[in-house]
């Protein structure tokens, strides 16, 4: 494990199985070459560009998201601290916040602070959780801050934007649309890559 990986594996929460993922070697590149080209564009405003990648289960959305994070790290000057990347499956993010109820306010504050401060926040599988008023307000709080500060955020989901709206609420969905813009709301197509395993 490299020194760079040692430094960022814990801070980013990116699972070790995804370390070393590359956009140019992603199995999803064959079905989505335009998306891969879009994500690897060195002229992209990486500090502000947000993406919503959606499609059926097993199409490689998480792999693309993590590979984009790896690309972000590679764009940084190797002599300075790399950009902070924070990866959260949304179900785990909500579970961690919920576990802080009843005593550990410091943990809750720490999670929200990390989500606000990350130069790139990956919210993986947004929309899979059961819709509740608490879930919707919690996601709104996180997304709203990223929206206001024009912070790069990458969302993955099995749901189209219309389906997401019904699950997490209009206020949060419209912020995601405004953050990404129509050009960065991308349907990830192709075969189920898990069938190859």
Q: How many domains does the chain have?
A: 1
51 occurs within a structural domain: yes
34 occurs within a structural domain: no
Enumerate residue ranges in the chain where pLDDT < 70. 1-11, 75-83, 102-104, 196-197
134 occurs within a structural domain: yes
Give me the residue label for tokens 């699972």: 15
What pLDDT does 104 receive? 66
Three-state SS string over the chain comes to: CCHHHHHHHHHHCCCHHHCCCCHHHCHHHCCCHHHHHHHCCCCCCCCCCCEEEECCCCCCHHHHHHHHHHHHHHHCCCCCCCCCEEEEEHHHHHHHHHHCCCCCHHHHHHHHHHHHHCCEEEEECCCCCCCCHHHHHHHHHHHHHHHHCCCEEEEEECCCHHHHHHHHCHHHHHHHHHHHCHHHEEECCCCCHHHHC
What are the C-alpha distances in Å from 111 to residues 22, 122, 166, 190? Answer: 28, 14, 26, 34
32 occurs within a structural domain: no
Q: Find the domain containing 127 and state its range.
A: 46-72+84-189
The pTM score is: 0.89
Kindly report the CATH number assigned to the domain that includes residue 127.
3.40.50.300
24 occurs within a structural domain: no
Q: How far apart are CA 4 and CA 169, in angstroms?
A: 39
Question: Six-digit token pair at 16?
Answer: 């070790």
Question: Six-digit token pair at 49?
Answer: 């560009």
159 occurs within a structural domain: yes
């Amino acid at each position: 494990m490299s020194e760079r990986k040692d430094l960022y594996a814990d801070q980013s929460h990116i699972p070790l199985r995804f370390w070393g993922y590359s956009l140019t070697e992603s199995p999803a590149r064959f079905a989505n070459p335009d998306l891969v080209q879009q994500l690897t564009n060195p002229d992209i405003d990486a500090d502000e560009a947000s993406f919503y990648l959606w499609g059926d289960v097993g199409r490689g959305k998480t792999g693309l998201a993590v590979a984009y994070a790896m690309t972000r790290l590679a764009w940084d000057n190797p002599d300075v601290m790399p950009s902070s990347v924070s990866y959260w499956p949304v179900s785990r993010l909500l579970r961690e916040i919920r576990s802080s109820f009843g005593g550990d306010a410091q943990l809750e504050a720490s999670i929200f602070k990390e989500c606000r401060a990350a130069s790139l926040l990956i919210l993986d599988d947004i929309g899979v959780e059961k819709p509740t008023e608490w879930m919707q307000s919690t996601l709104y709080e996180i997304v709203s801050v990223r929206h206001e500060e024009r912070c790069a955020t990458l969302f993955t989901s099995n749901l189209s934007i219309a389906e997401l709206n019904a699950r997490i609420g209009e206020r949060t969905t419209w912020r995601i649309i405004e953050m990404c813009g129509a050009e960065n709301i991308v349907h990830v197509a192709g075969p189920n890559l898990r069938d190859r395993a």
